[in-house]
Amino acid sequence: MRIHWRVVGGIADYGVHKAVSSQVDWRVIREDFPILRQQVRGHDLIYFDSAASSQKPGPVIDALRNFYERDNANVHRGLHALSGRATEAYERARQRVADYIGAASPDEVIFTRGTTESINLVAQSWGGRFLREGDVILLTVMEHHSNLVPWQLLAERKGARLRFLPVLDDGTLDVDQLSNLLTPEVKLFAFTHISNSLGTINPVADLCAKARALGAVTLVDAAQSAGHMPVDLQKLGCDFLAFSGHKMCAPTGIGVLYGRAELLDSMPPWHGGGEMIVSVTLEKSTFKKPPHRFEGGTPNIAGAVGLAAAIDYIEGIGRLSIFEHDRQLAHYAADRLTELPRTRVFGPKGERGALVGFVMDAAHPHDLTTFADQYGLAMRGGHHCNQPLMRRFGVSGTTRASFYFYNTMEEIDQMMEILQRAVRFFS
Ligand SMILES: Cc1ncc(COP(=O)(O)O)c(C=O)c1O
């Protein structure tokens, strides 16, 4: 793996990340992303859609190619060299993920297809066994459909009830309402770390501590945070954590569910098949311990190898540096967007994640996003799988510009020129 930058080590305090970020040569890092070196419709590509899926650096692409060229075979079942190597790489990736998020053991790391599958696993396995009629699942109004629909399905099946922590006008959670909503009937509190439409960074550790005090299990949707900032389970204190590889430089089709060991041990399998059993008779089966109990069938071995390479790459830069870099981009974009006439910018004024959603009176988000594409600017327009949140703010959708460490301030200036052009075109 190529490392062209130097990062100060031992930074324990978020207060110093500016100094850290300024030591990274972001332009050199951008060169690691071959896809960014292209023109779209005659213009240099500006990729502002990383909240939907990130681009992949050379070292991750190389790791996938190396795996398929040298080590590819099925895992766990084989007694030959290639299978041994593939198994080792797959289990090494699990350890890499455990270290990345501060899990106590790799056995607490389950590979899934992504955040959506991770949350469905908890809903079906944990929810199926432990939720009772009349129990309450507490969510927030800012949840992605992935952290809403699985709970709706579960609540319907079990006769449980859903409650929602409201969102304030500034895009933050109305945490004052917790005293009314977080009652002893709440068995699970599931919420996002960073909102994929507002950029709000939620106070995960506080929310988890409050839930734990009442005996509620917590699940954190880290889809928008795992690749953008330090995510340390020992600090967050959640019971489950879900994220997707493809939003953090890894391939699609690989993701993670972290679960606290005691909880995973108590949960039944959710997918039956090969890999997850100890013994099978025609009538009955016994099952492996976690994590393999939850990984029926051939897993995404190359995906796990790619995820480990992505983690190496991200940690080579440093998550504090990435956080600070992305934060500067998001703040700059949010500020500059206010220059546009009759434009509403969503999300908190203070700390925010690497994205900004906005609506221009002059154009529907779909039209604006299609207009931008004519200039090689890739953004996303629509409800972003946040229909209830859009309704909360009285809009059908927004245009979202989302950033990652390969983006630059100059690209935001170019975005502004394109949007100024859109104002003239649509007015
Ligand atoms: C906050 C959040 N949760 C969950 C998801 C779902 O992720 P995936 O489609 O990778 O399962 C997304 C994807 O955009 C997201 O932004």
Q: How far apart are CA 229 and CA 327, in angstroms?
A: 10
Give pLDDT tens digits for 72-131: 999 987 799 999 999 999 999 999 999 999 999 999 999 999 999 999 999 999 999 999
125 CA to centre of ligand 1 in angstroms: 20
Q: Is 116 touching ligand 1 by the criterion CB < 6 Å? A: yes
Interval 191-216 mean pLDDT: 98
Q: Is 223 touching ligand 1 by the criterion CB < 6 Å? A: yes
Q: Is 221 touching ligand 1 by the criterion CB < 6 Å? A: yes
Mutate to test the pocket of ligand 1, among 173, 221, 244 (most ligand atoms within 8 A of CB): 244
Query: pLDDT at position 163, please?
Result: 98
Q: Is 124 touching ligand 1 by the criterion CB < 6 Å? A: no
Q: How far apart are CA 254 and CA 115, in angstroms?
A: 9
Q: Is 386 touching ligand 1 by the criterion CB < 6 Å? A: no
Residue 18 pLDDT > 60: no
Q: Is 244 touching ligand 1 by the criterion CB < 6 Å? A: yes
Nearest CA residue ID for atom 15, ligand 1: 223
Q: List Cα–Cα distances, 421 to 46, 150, 242, 335, 426, in angstroms.
A: 16, 42, 40, 18, 9
Q: Is the alpha carbon torsion for 198, 391, 252, 366 positive or negative?
A: negative
Query: pLDDT at position 29, please?
Result: 97
Residue 386 pLDDT > 60: yes
339 CA to centre of ligand 1 in angstroms: 30
Query: pLDDT at position 3, please?
Result: 38
Give pLDDT tens digits for 311-340: 999 999 999 999 999 999 999 999 999 999
4 CA to centre of ligand 1 in angstroms: 31
Q: List Cα–Cα distances, 133 to 155, 195, 208, 214, 332, in angstroms.
A: 8, 30, 24, 19, 48
How much of the chain, in percent, has pLDDT values that exceed 90?
A: 92
Mutate to test the pocket of ligand 1, among 54, 119, 195, 196 (most ligand atoms within 8 A of CB): 196
Interval 209-231 mean pLDDT: 98
pLDDT band per the 50, 70, 90 thresholds, residue 151 = very high
Atom of ligand 1 nearest to the CA of 117: 11
Query: pLDDT at position 77, please?
Result: 77
Interval 361-365 mean pLDDT: 94
Residue 261 pLDDT > 80: yes
Residue 138, CA atoms < 13 Å, CB-side half-sphere: 26
Full 3-state SS string of the chain: CCCCCCCCCCCCCHHHHHHHHCCCCHHHHHCCCHHHCCEECCEECEECECCCCCCCCHHHHHHHHHHHHHHCCCCCCCCCHHHHHHHHHHHHHHHHHHHHHCCCCHHHEEEECCHHHHHHHHHHHHHHHHCCCCCEEEEECCCCHHHCHHHHHHHHHHCCEEEEECECCCCCECHHHHHHHCCCCEEEEEEECECCCCCEECCHHHHHHHHHHCCCEEEEECCCCCCCCCCCHHHHCCCEEEEEHHHHCCCCCCEEEEECHHHHHCCCCCCCCCCCEEEECCCCEEECCCCHHHCCCCCCHHHHHHHHHHHHHHHHHCHHHHHHHHHHHHHHHHHHHCCCCCEEECCCCCCECCEEEEEECCECHHHHHHHHHCCCEECEEECCCCHHHHHHCCCCCEEEEECCCCCCHHHHHHHHHHHHHHHHHHC
Q: Is the pTM of this model over 0.75?
A: yes
Give pLDDT tens digits for 169-200: 999 999 999 999 999 999 999 999 999 999 99
Interval 351-359 mean pLDDT: 96
pLDDT band per the 50, 70, 90 thresholds, residue 20 = low
400 CA to centre of ligand 1 in angstroms: 15
Q: Is 202 touching ligand 1 by the criterion CB < 6 Å? A: no
Q: Which pair of tokens denotes residue 190?
A: 């599931």
Q: Which pair of tokens denotes residue 147?
A: 């952290």
pLDDT band per the 50, 70, 90 thresholds, residue 17 = very low
Atom of ligand 1 nearest to the CA of 384: 14
User: What are the backbone angles phi and psi of residue 201, rounded to the nearest 5°?
Assistant: -100, 115
Rounded (5°) CA angle 64-68-73: 125
Of 20, 3, 1, 2, nearest to 11 by C-alpha is 20
Asked if 150 and 221 count as a contact pair (C-beta separation under 8 A), the reply is no
Distance of CA 35 to the CA centre of its chain: 21
**What are the catalytic residues?**
385
